[in-house]
Structure 1
Amino acid sequence: MSDLKPHAVPDDVDPDRWTLRLTGAVDQSLRLTAEDLVAYPLETAADDFACAEGWVANGLSWRGVRVGRLLEDAEPTEASEYGLVRAMDGEYACSFPLDRLRESILALELDGESLPLEHGGPARLVPLDTDRDCWESIKWVSEIRIGETPFVGDDTAKDLALSRIEG
């Protein structure tokens, strides 16, 4: 398995009751199970993962569903420009411009194996652009909420991640 550093799994994270919801400014709200997700075409992306804590996991291989494919089925409204990706614990969330979110992968596997719970399984958002920050790789993704304006007040990921480093 990779040298990706695990973090404690929050008590609210229960893979047995996990689903992914696509909600908000969409024509078709979706509720997907892990079985639903593997029915989509899967893509592989390999890259290093650098954390703000100072460590790097080299050569990770993520496999999952391109978020853009999920959005095609949810049909964001014409005015939609942002997505908020929320973790299953309900506290950790990150806002993205919709075009950037479309290019990300919702990873279901890491290095050829099912994504372990301690690394964000059953599904983890993996932004693929070069400007990404480690806190944008949301573990235990349970909701992608689409909106027409930025989710400023709900975008907690950076502050929470940096408080863990400084704390």
Structure 2
Amino acid sequence: MPQHPTRRDAPTLSRRQILIGGAGTLASVSLLGLTPLARGQDALPIPDFIKWKRTDALIVHSNKTMETRRGAIGTGVVTPSDILFVRNNLPTPPETIVADRDAWEVAFSGVTAPRSMTLGELKTLGVETVATVLQCSGNGRAFFPHGASGSQWSVGAAGCVIWTGVPMREVIRALGGPESGAQYLTSTGGEELPEGLDEKSVVVERSVPLDAMEQALLAYEMNGEPLPLTHGGPLRMVIPGYYGVNNVKYVKHVALTRTQSDAKIQASGYRVRPVGEKGAPKQPSMWAMNVKSWITGPLDTAPAGRNLIHGVAFGGTESLHGVEVSLDNGENWRAAPFIGPDLGPFAWRPFVLAADLSAGEYRMVSRATDAKGNSQPRERPDNERGYGHNGWEDHGVTVTVS
């Protein structure tokens, strides 16, 4: 089996260290650890809409994409909002849309009694809270050798979030149920679209199989607080177990449809296709997430003796069965117990393995298995856009023990 070049994550650096560290500091940081600076670009400015976040815990890829540093994830069951990654397809709407949250209006169609409802009205229909992994489809793209286009995410385009909102199934029930023949739940974002472009080429509109409606939420709170504008406030569609692109921000229209949306982001975007091929509607869409895990510490060095090797694992739409850790790149495996509370099938589970390590170099990898017996493969699923990477080998870390 071919071996792939070893990739290391950078040590966690404070923002002050990054700014004053000089050339020596920058040269020591891996491409995956600090992408913009390590590639010789100027330090990217922190956009206003994320200045409330802990920027020392984020890698800024662009003005719309920020990745959580691997070391910042640690052993947390829930990812704090101020270190959660950011991925926006369009410019963030103005703060005015969250000035009166309950006045936000959503149009519903494809139901027996179509109508528009304000968030205030929706809140009277029911409330649920669910913990889910929010993950970008391209999380792990940086490991693909063919140079897939898009943000070069390592592992930090993911987090575990607690959402509170209105159950979508209750909304549809209140509107008389689906129209005959409905097969998809289609959500449209409320961002302002650039002028002079075909609306369908830029609008964020995603369709998912209708059965996802049973778990879907119209979420207005995140981690116990009003949903930030940065992450889709005042209202966001949340599809537990599905990749982030399906969790449409600033949701303005929800339709039950016979066919998938013809918007570019659905018709040809976020499609799994062979390297070199263009996107097309017949290719698999980035819907349900697959089983995945990675180590969050130690990442680079460790002292000889007793060490706790920790990480996170999740099953996508399935609950987890277990996770294993190898210290020799998959030659030998040991079961790693979960730690912390189980927040349900869509959440991630932190794990830890206690190991006595002597001096030397270790290639540490993890491999999760879901309740249906699906385990992470060794290698990545090669595809044009670098989607759905859950191969365990690339996600490992090389740790020097001394």
Q: Same fold (TM over 0.5)?
A: yes
Structure 2 residue 205 is matched with structure 1 residue 103: no
Query: Out of 135, 139, 145, which is 2:249 matched to?
Result: 139
Equivalent residue number for residue 42 of structure 1: 127
Change (3 A) 1:113 1:35: same
Structure 2 residue 189 is matched with structure 1 residue 87: yes
Code of the residue aligned with 2:251 in structure 1: it is V
CA separation in 2, counterparts of 1:120 and 1:86?
Answer: 12
CA separation in 1, counterparts of 2:219 and 2:264?
Answer: 21
* 8 Å Cα contact 2:164-2:220 kept in structure 1: yes
CA separation in 2, counterparts of 1:156 and 1:102?
Answer: 24
Equivalent residue number for residue 30 of structure 1: 115
CA separation in 2, counterparts of 1:28 and 1:154?
Answer: 25
Q: Please report the TM-score for the alignment, with normalisation by the length of structure 2.
A: 0.36
CA separation in 2, counterparts of 1:41 and 1:67?
Answer: 9
CA separation in 1, counterparts of 2:112 and 2:222?
Answer: 32
Identity of aligned residues (%): 24
Tell me how far 1:50 sits from its aligned partner: 2.1
Code of the residue aligned with 2:171 in structure 1: it is L
Tell me how far 1:152 sits from its aligned partner: 4.0
Equivalent residue number for residue 150 of structure 1: 259
Range moving further from structure 2, 95-104 or 132-141: 95-104
Q: Which runs of 5+ in 2 are unaligned?
A: 1-79, 140-152, 194-202, 271-384, 387-402
Code of the residue aligned with 2:111 in structure 1: it is V
CA separation in 1, counterparts of 2:183 and 2:125?
Answer: 24
CA separation in 2, counterparts of 1:39 and 1:100?
Answer: 22
Superposition map of 1:8-19 within 5 A: 8-10=91-93, 14-15=97-98, 18-19=104-105
Tell me how far 1:81 sits from its aligned partner: 1.6
Tell me how far 1:30 sits from its aligned partner: 2.3
Equivalent residue number for residue 73 of structure 1: 174
> Tell me, what secondary structure is at the counterpart of 1:39?
helix
CA separation in 2, counterparts of 1:97 and 1:57?
Answer: 23
CA separation in 2, counterparts of 1:143 and 1:152?
Answer: 12
Tell me how far 1:125 sits from its aligned partner: 1.1
CA separation in 2, counterparts of 1:97 and 1:106?
Answer: 16
CA separation in 2, counterparts of 1:151 and 1:57?
Answer: 26
Tell me how far 1:99 sits from its aligned partner: 1.3
Code of the residue aligned with 1:100 in structure 2: it is A
Code of the residue aligned with 2:190 in structure 1: it is M
Equivalent residue number for residue 238 of structure 2: 126
> Tell me, what secondary structure is at the counterpart of 1:37?
helix
* 8 Å Cα contact 1:84-1:155 kept in structure 2: no
> Tell me, what secondary structure is at the counterpart of 1:14?
helix
Query: Out of 13, 20, 23, which is 2:106 matched to?
Result: 20
CA separation in 2, counterparts of 1:14 and 1:108?
Answer: 13
Tell me how far 1:33 sits from its aligned partner: 0.9
Deviations along 1:103-140, whole A, 9 cap, x unmatched?
A: 211111001111011110111111113xx112111100
Tell me how far 1:87 sits from its aligned partner: 0.3
> Tell me, what secondary structure is at the counterpart of 1:68?
helix
> Tell me, what secondary structure is at the counterpart of 2:245?
helix
Q: Which runs of 5+ in 1 are unaligned?
A: none
Deviations along 1:50-97, whole A, 9 cap, x unmatched?
A: 222432443311101111111112221232222210001261010112
* 8 Å Cα contact 1:48-1:56 kept in structure 2: no
Tell me how far 1:39 sits from its aligned partner: 1.4
CA separation in 2, counterparts of 1:145 and 1:30?
Answer: 11
Range moving further from structure 2, 151-160 or 109-118: 151-160
Equivalent residue number for residue 60 of structure 1: 161
CA separation in 2, counterparts of 1:49 and 1:143?
Answer: 21
Change (3 A) 1:116 1:81: same
CA separation in 1, counterparts of 2:264 and 2:181?
Answer: 20
- Work out the number of aligned pairs and report it: 159
CA separation in 1, counterparts of 2:265 and 2:157?
Answer: 23
Code of the residue aligned with 2:248 in structure 1: it is I
By relative contact order (CA 8 Å, sep 6+), the higher-ranking structure is 1
Change (3 A) 1:19 1:152: closer
Tell me how far 1:159 sits from its aligned partner: 2.4
